[in-house]
Amino acid sequence: MATGGREAAHAGANIGTTCARRSTGRLYCWGYNFFGQLGDGTTTERRVPTPEAGGATDWRSVSVGMSSTCATTTDSRAYCWGYNAFGQLGTNNFNNHRRPEEIWAGGSSGTSGNGSSGTSSGSPGERTAGRAHRRATAPARRTRWIS
Residue 111: predicted pLDDT: 34
Residue 131: predicted pLDDT: 41
CATH topology for 2-137? Methylamine Dehydrogenase; Chain H (2.130.10)
Residue 6: predicted pLDDT: 63
Who wins on pLDDT, 125 or 33?
33
Single-letter code of the amino acid located at 65:
G
Return the H-helix or E-strand segment holding 82: strand 78-82
- Tell me the whole-structure pTM to 2 decimals: 0.68
Look at residue 30 and give its three-state secondary structure.
strand
| Residue 124 φ/ψ, nearest 5 degrees | -55, -35
For residue 79, the number of C-alpha atoms closer than 13 Å in the C-beta half-sphere is 25
Closest C-alpha among 60, 85, 54 to residue 74: 60
| Cα angle for residues 48, 54, 55 (degrees, 5° grid) | 65
Residue 89: predicted pLDDT: 95
Neighbours of 42 (CB within 10 A): 14
> What mean pLDDT do residues 76-95 have?
95
